[in-house]
Chain A
Amino acid sequence: QVQLQESGPGLVKPSETLSLTCTVSGGSISSYYWSWIRQPPGKGLEWIGQIYYSGRTNYNPSLKRRVTMSVDTSKNQFSLKLSSVTAADTAVYYCARGGVVAENWGQGTLVTVSS
């Protein structure tokens, strides 16, 4: 059973860049789409974007200007960078296997944007 684990700073200052990594274990990162999804405290889910193992990406139009995703097949990891963050970007960030269908999810990591 594939497992995913998010890692990265839990606190980011306004205007800075949020950086998270998702490590995949129990399976290869190859031949799949991988997604990032976030959930502000007490609110619903928001799709951030997806990346294919080859590096092809598709981002949420509302976040596209600030989002960059990348994949490192040698480390079985994929990453998210979100620039120019504000308090509105405070959320639990999940990584997941799948693009349109998020089949397996990480446990999520809370990222707070505050000075």
Chain B
Amino acid sequence: QSALTQPASVSGSPGQSITISCAGTSTDVDNYNYVSWYQQHPGKAPKLMIYDVSNRPSGVSNRFSGSKSGSTASLTISGLQAEDEAHYYCSSYTTTSTLFGGGTKVTVL
């Protein structure tokens, strides 16, 4: 199974909004509403930011939102802040396992 496809990098200025895409197929993203997003700062463990496409765990800022259209899921960060600079990974349930995307480096300019 191939990893989900994410852009290698996305950047934005403080206060702006950015969107990270996560492209899958009919056997994963398109077929299940089980897309999650994780934030990872250098040297740290990943942190769950979004689950089941668009749900935020308790304590996660409402500046983070998720959506899905067909086989592509998206994570939007609004009001970009310096602390948002990190790697972001999407994941999706599949018919046989769980897949991760290759990761996107978010840079705050």
Cα distance A92–B46 in the bound complex, in angstroms? 12
B71 to chain A, nearest CB (A): 17
Query: What sequence of 0s and 1s flags, for each residue 33-50 of chain A, a beta carbon within 8 Å of any chain B beta carbon?
Result: 001010000001111011
* A14 interface residue per 8 A CB criterion: no
- Residues of chain A within 8 A (CB-CB) of B101 are 44
Contact A44 B51 (CB under 8 A): no
Range of interface residues on B (Cβ < 8 Å): 20 to 34
Q: What is A's interface to B at a CB cutoff of 8 Å?
A: 35, 37, 44-47, 49-50, 58-62, 94, 99-108
Question: For residue B52, which residues in chain A have a CB less than 8 angstroms away from its CB?
Answer: 101
Of the A-B pairs whose beta carbons lie under 8 Å apart in the complex, a sample of 26, sorted by A's number, is A35-B98, A44-B3, A44-B101, A44-B103, A45-B38, A45-B46, A45-B91, A45-B103, A47-B91, A47-B99, A47-B100, A59-B97, A60-B97, A62-B1, A100-B34, A100-B98, A101-B34, A101-B48, A102-B38, A102-B46, A102-B48, A103-B48, A103-B51, A105-B46, A105-B47, A107-B45
